Structure 1
Amino acid sequence: MDTNTLQAFIAVAESRSFSKAADHLYLTQSAISKRIALLEDQLSSKLFDRIGRTVSLTEAGAALLPRAKDILLQLDDAKRAIGNLNAGDVIGGLSLAASHHISLHRLPPYLKQFSHECPKVELDLQFAESEVAYEGVLKGDFELALITLSPAPDPSIHSDLIWDDLLMYVVAKDHPLAQAEKIKLEELTHYNAILPGSNTFTRSLVETLFFQHALTLNVTMSTNYLDTIRMMVNIGLGWSLLPQSLVGDDLKTLNVIDSEPVHRNLGIIYHKNRTLSNAANHLVQMLKSQR
């Protein structure tokens, strides 16, 4: 049993396809099949059932999957720990995920500074929704993630608050609510709301607020891209809560008198059981020093 066979096993298990696993690992399907056959021979157990084009884990495969992931994570952790012995060297790879909003509106100056200070680091930056990036850190796919922090984080996740994001109630200037000097939350429920998807951390904050006031949101459209929400609000399709940094003169900010200020926390997360590389530590400390 080696890392190559375990990587092949995990790729097939997660994609439920030998061909997709081969594409993911840049191998032939034959090579993937040979690695799975070798692993099954070593364990004396069948790991996959193949019925037509459907590939599913057997009981033995399901038992192996979390352990295989843990083995690979432990090996990666050992490599980082040894690499960190050269405390002055900030080299190697850094897998980082960032939400779309942070990538566009928060990250660029810090990314520029990091690239200048750590030119030998090979940065693998992926843009993803906060919830996807969060799961990626939990699974070990990313060393770090810059996201909207979860209001109820997993005990395995370490979070550092970097930015306090104040959200503003906004409508288009020709919206029926735009002329009101002050309104109440209950009035908002009579109009269309445009908010991120129901499975997002940001949506959870808004729903909790309205639930505490015994009110039901009237969400008619949703997207996880805040810049798209801004556009839809601007053309009069509904009201929303947007970061203050996205609110310009073309939108009307509402004075909602019975709503406490709505803040969402933006920050950096990593797995508590993962030894951070020197590159990851450098980025974490750089961001924390800017608060």
Structure 2
Amino acid sequence: MDTQSLQAFLAVAETRSFSRAAEVLYLTQPAVSKRIATLEGQVGARLFDRIGRQTTLTEAGLLLLPQARRILQAMEDSRRALTNLSGQIGGRLTLATSHHIGLHRLPPLLKRYTQRHPDVELDLHFLDSELAYQGVLDGSLEMAVVTLSPTPHAQLKAQPVWTDRLCFVCAPDHPLAAAANTLSLATLCQHTCIMTGARTFTRALIEQRFHDAGLSLNVSMATNYLETLKMMCSVGLGWSLLPEGMIDDELVDLAVDTPLIHRPLGYLVHTDRTLSNAARKMIEELDAARPG
């Protein structure tokens, strides 16, 4: 069972398409099909069903999938450990980050990193923080720089680097903007709000504050992109919470009678994974960015 066939198998399983898998692997579609056929011959079972335009795993494919991931991960860990012995800082670093962190926190850090380590091939993925967590867990990502989960995970090391203060905001012409006194959480709940998605770490953090007060948010719309959320809030579609650094004259920063809400941002690695020298150097850059 060769690694090239296993890589092709994983690519087809994850993209659910032979053509998209070929693009990911920089191969022709016939080459991908040949590798899958080779693997099916080795395991003695059909791994994919192709019905119309749909490509789905067979029962045998579903059984092979976690084993294939473990085999490739073990080989990658071995290769990385051997490379680490040489002290070389190069190769590919597969790193995920959220759109907000990628736009507002990482640019100067990535610039320094690439200048100091030009032999590293940075494979950067923009993902929701929750998906990045899963990628680090299943080994498809070496590390992630994301909003950290309120709940620790036993297999992951989550290191805070920055803290976002979340501000209650609304449009200048929103009824809440005219309030003469400090607002209560109960008053906010009388108006519709715009929030991040229901399953995001940021949403969980905010909802917990209202839940502790015996209140429920009146959510009218949701989006995982904070820049989009800011736009919708600025045109009066509802109040919201946004990181302090995003507040400008398009929004009013509301005074609310509750302790400040902060969300931790930082990096994530698997506790059982042998990190590459490239990842170790990235962690050094991130640790250096932590406030003294």
**TM-score, normalised via structure 2 length:** 0.93
Moved more, 217-226 or 30-39: 30-39
Moved more, 184-193 or 115-124: 115-124
TM superposition shift of 1:98: 1.2
Q: Which amino acid aligns with 1:285?
A: E
Moved more, 151-160 or 164-173: 151-160
Q: Could you tell me which runs of 5 or more consecutive residues in structure 2 were left unpaired when the two chains were aligned.
A: none
TM superposition shift of 1:247: 1.4
The answer for the alignment partner of 1:28 in structure 2 is 28
For 2:98 and 2:52, the matched residues in 1 are separated by 38
With over 3 angstroms needed to count, the CA separation of the structure-2 counterparts of 1:55 and 1:225, relative to structure 1, is closer
TM superposition shift of 1:53: 4.1
For 2:267 and 2:240, the matched residues in 1 are separated by 26
TM superposition shift of 1:52: 4.3
The answer for the alignment partner of 1:106 in structure 2 is 105
Equivalent position SS for 2:178: coil
The answer for the alignment partner of 1:134 in structure 2 is 133
Q: Could you tell me which runs of 5 or more consecutive residues in structure 1 were left unpaired when the two chains were aligned.
A: none
Equivalent position SS for 2:86: coil
TM superposition shift of 1:229: 1.5
The answer for the alignment partner of 1:73 in structure 2 is 73
For 2:107 and 2:194, the matched residues in 1 are separated by 27
TM superposition shift of 1:211: 1.7
The answer for the alignment partner of 2:158 in structure 1 is 159
For 1:263 and 1:219, the matched residues in 2 are separated by 20
The answer for the alignment partner of 1:187 in structure 2 is 187
With over 3 angstroms needed to count, the CA separation of the structure-2 counterparts of 1:132 and 1:82, relative to structure 1, is same
TM superposition shift of 1:14: 2.2
Equivalent position SS for 1:177: helix
1:254 is aligned to 2:270 = no
The answer for the alignment partner of 1:209 in structure 2 is 209
For 1:150 and 1:224, the matched residues in 2 are separated by 15
Q: Which amino acid aligns with 2:164?
A: D
Equivalent position SS for 2:248: coil
Q: Deviations for 1:25-65, whole angstroms, at most 9, x for unmatched residues? A: 23333322222222122122232334444433232221111
For 2:15 and 2:249, the matched residues in 1 are separated by 47
TM superposition shift of 1:85: 0.6
For 1:144 and 1:15, the matched residues in 2 are separated by 21
For 1:53 and 1:286, the matched residues in 2 are separated by 45
TM superposition shift of 1:5: 0.7
The answer for the alignment partner of 2:61 in structure 1 is 61
For 2:118 and 2:52, the matched residues in 1 are separated by 49
The answer for the alignment partner of 1:123 in structure 2 is 122
For 1:237 and 1:54, the matched residues in 2 are separated by 39
With over 3 angstroms needed to count, the CA separation of the structure-2 counterparts of 1:205 and 1:13, relative to structure 1, is same
1:92 is aligned to 2:91 = yes
Q: Which amino acid aligns with 2:139?
A: G
For 1:125 and 1:16, the matched residues in 2 are separated by 22
For 1:254 and 1:24, the matched residues in 2 are separated by 46
For 1:216 and 1:109, the matched residues in 2 are separated by 39
The answer for the alignment partner of 1:146 in structure 2 is 145
Identity among equivalent pairs (%): 53
1:2 is aligned to 2:2 = yes
Equivalent position SS for 1:178: helix
For 1:196 and 1:33, the matched residues in 2 are separated by 40
For 1:75 and 1:123, the matched residues in 2 are separated by 20
Q: Deviations for 1:179-215, whole angstroms, at most 9, x for unmatched residues? A: 2221110111111201111121111111122122221
Q: How many residues of Structure 1 are paired with residues of Structure 2 in the alignment?
A: 289
The answer for the alignment partner of 1:290 in structure 2 is 289
With over 3 angstroms needed to count, the CA separation of the structure-2 counterparts of 1:53 and 1:114, relative to structure 1, is closer
Equivalent position SS for 2:214: coil
